[in-house]
Amino acid sequence: MRHFLDLHTLPPEELRGILTQAAAMKTARTGLPRGTVDDGAPFEGRMVALIFEKPSTRTRVSFDVGARQLGGQTLVLSGKDMQLGHGETIADTARVLSRYVDLIMIRTFEEQTLVELAAHSAVPVINGLTDASHPCQIMADILTFEEHRGPITGAKVVWAGDGNNVCTSFLHAAGQFGFDLTFTGPEVLDPNPDAVAFARGRGVTVTIERDPLKAAEGADLIVTDTWLSMHDPESARQRRHALLRPYQVNNALMAATGRETLFMHCLPAHRGEEATDTVMDGPHSVIFDEAENRLHAQKAIMRWCLRL
């Protein structure tokens, strides 16, 4: 069974193979209408379940379009549709869905929901996001970086802001792909220590630097994410703004790198908060390439899961 749950649980050569296939499939589609099915329709006759306990734009559209481009069909289910873990157990839901579909993608809150679903599923499960990690996003980010700058091995990536679930997956990727990562943000929002330990254990440098301008020196890529969750109360929003304002990605921070540094944001963004418009729309921003590459990376992930 090939589940795609977290980057640090898979062999690096498997991750590299997924990216190689993603790049090849993207090239093969150059100039084709979005609805054109990929050559050979590898998912013909296959059904993909897309479960969303959390709302989504990019994850929903990219997985839905991706499965269709591969020649398959999709079944989109919301948390309201399923009441996952409320009434019927997650284990029983996994057993039932496995009788109907060939592949399951889930975007959920608790990591344990993902783990339990995979443990009892008879078909592959993909982590579309949990509160703990976001591996599909980072596969798209690596694909995007390498399109613009070549191999990411040996590069310096700077994460600015909140050491959240996306940051955790970037740390996993640092260990797997061999690039250094500097985190700059308030201590109370430091990244997951287990993810830091994993990356360091794979021989890469992980640095915690409170001064954002110093952290940015020599960076090949600066990444940030939204400061706020849609579930945060107003009081929490005000505290987070006060904590994170010094770590905004702006022209001064980009200039402090001293080089032609790429900028990424997984979106959606609160423009003028975690990053300014001049950076997001600037010449070094690749945020929309990054968004597009969710489609190509996830198609390759789905094919890897089904060995196609």
Q: Looking at the annotation, which residues are catalytic?
A: 107, 134, 137, 225, 266, 294
Partnered with residue 158 across adjacent β-strands are: 182, 222
CA dist 104 to 48, 123, 170, 215, Å? Answer: 6, 7, 23, 39
State the first-to-last Cα distance of the chain, in angstroms, to the nearest integer.
13
Q: What backbone torsions phi and psi does residue 71 show, to the nearest 5 degrees?
A: 95, 5
Which residues fall within 8 angstroms of residue 265, CB to CB, at 6 or more apart?
223, 224, 225, 274, 275, 280, 287, 290
